[in-house]
Amino acid sequence: MIFASKAGDIALRQQGKFPAKWRRQGDFIMPGDDSSYTWKGIIPDSLNITMHDPERGFVSSANQYPYDTTYPFYMGGTYPFYRSIIINRMLSNTQNATTEDMQKMQTSNYNVFAEIARPVLLRFIDDSSFTSDEKKYLEIYKSWNLENNAGEEGATVFSLWWDSLKAVVYDDEFSQTALPLPKVEQSTLLDNIIKDSVRLFADNINTEEKETIETDINIAFRKIVPLLNKLDHNDALDWGTYKNSGVLHLLKIPALSNLNLYSGGGETEINAYQKYHGPSWRMVVELTDDINAYGVYPGGQNGNPGSKYYDAFLNDWLAGRYYELLFINKSDLQNQTNLKGKITFSK
């Protein structure tokens, strides 16, 4: 929960009751007839994370892990942290922020994960024997501005290359079982390459050759070139076309959904718009004497597919535009000229 007041107070608090678990408790099936595996209590409310008027001048939350390594309890779950990195960087470098600044930040497609990963990949890539096509797509990647904007081809090259690398590194081990396995997190592979601990998985156990992360990175890149060629030939190499996003109806009924939307964003960007998942509500509030607020969501103000207001906001949401939100005093209600109707509640 994040709080801000007109008086200038800001705060962040993780609110709720959380079981006091030991490390990895609850991550796997445990014997239900053994009481030693049961929860031993609830984390004291005083140990829930709280930040109030921090010296840095802002609080932020983007699903990152809320504690450092000194926290005595195990929270479990997955906590991607790349969006929090770029959010904190942007806020730290912003002074006297305006509502326009915050809107621009919320719709940012800058890929800080790719920023960290690019020097790692380029350190190991060897293009001395590359074909002309391989060199072409490597150059597209090198010159990419690290923005996952809809028109960027480098974003597609990077996404396919990284997915290919995960498969080359881990699939030979994962294929040894038919049991369902969680996907490898983006940060796991990157962090292990940087620390050189990925060498445990770099070798392909199905070949006699002793592969290293260097050979894996080169193999992974060459594997995606035929697909890149196909996308390029079909004018589908740009990120917006390749991603081919949509906004699905809750029942996943195509006729009630909006499909084939051309948009930027991605998993590790502040604008976390992936295939069918994204920031469904954007809001910026300026706590002036008279509230100055803006917001938008990828739908409309009517749940009826036959209404022109069913998806009226969608194009503005895609374009990163906001609507001014109305905070109307009862005394001013009669003076409003842009209201489409009203609902009257009675006992």
Above 90 in pLDDT, residue 180? no
User: Do residues 120 and 227 share a domain?
Assistant: yes
Assigned domain for 131 exists: yes
175 & 72 share domain: no
What is the band of 331 on the pLDDT scale with cuts at 50, 70, 90? confident
For residues 224-253, give the mean pLDDT: 97
Q: Which of 27, 57, 79 is the last residue of a domain?
A: 79
Average pLDDT of the residues of the chain: 93
> Among residues 59, 79, 99, which one ends one of the domains?
79
Is the residue at 29 inside a domain? Answer: yes
Among 243, 259, 277, give the residue marking a domain's end. 243
For residue 45, count other CB atoms closer than 10 A to its CB.
Answer: 11
Q: What is the arithmetic mean of pLDDT over 257-268? A: 96
pLDDT at residue 322 in the model? 97
Query: Would 187 be classed as within a structural domain?
Result: yes
Contact 37, 25 (CB under 8 A): yes
Residues of the domain holding 11: 1-79
Give domain status of residue 225, yes or no. Answer: yes
Q: Do 140 and 203 have their domain in common?
A: yes
In this structure, are 55 and 140 located in the same domain?
no
Domain count, the chain: 2
Same domain, 117 and 36: no
CB atoms within 10 A of CB 270: 23
Whether residues 58 and 173 fall in one domain: no
pLDDT score recorded for residue 103: 97
The pLDDT confidence band at residue 181, using thresholds 50, 70 and 90, is: confident
Rounded to the nearest 10 degrees, what angle do helices 82-92 and 99-106 cross at? 160
Judgement on whether residues 43 and 143 belong to the same structural domain of the protein: no
Q: What is the dihedral of CA 268, 122, 232, 264, to 10 degrees?
A: 20
H/E stretch holding 136 reads helix 132-142
* Residue 221 falls inside a structural domain: yes
Within a domain: 176:
yes
Residues 131 and 47 in one domain: no
| Dihedral pair phi/psi, residue 221, rounded to 5° | -70, -45
Q: How confident is the model at residue 165 (pLDDT cuts 50, 70, 90)?
A: very high
Q: Is residue 249 part of a domain?
A: no
Residue range 86-102, pLDDT digits in tens: 999 999 999 999 999 99
Task: Please tell me the predicted confidence (pLDDT) of residue 241.
Answer: 98
Q: Residue 254 — very low, low, confident or very high, per pLDDT cuts 50/70/90?
A: very high
CATH number at residue 189: 1.10.1400.10
Contact 268/277 with Cβ under 8 angstroms?
Answer: no
Residue 311: inside a domain, yes or no? no
Same-domain check for residues 169 and 236? yes
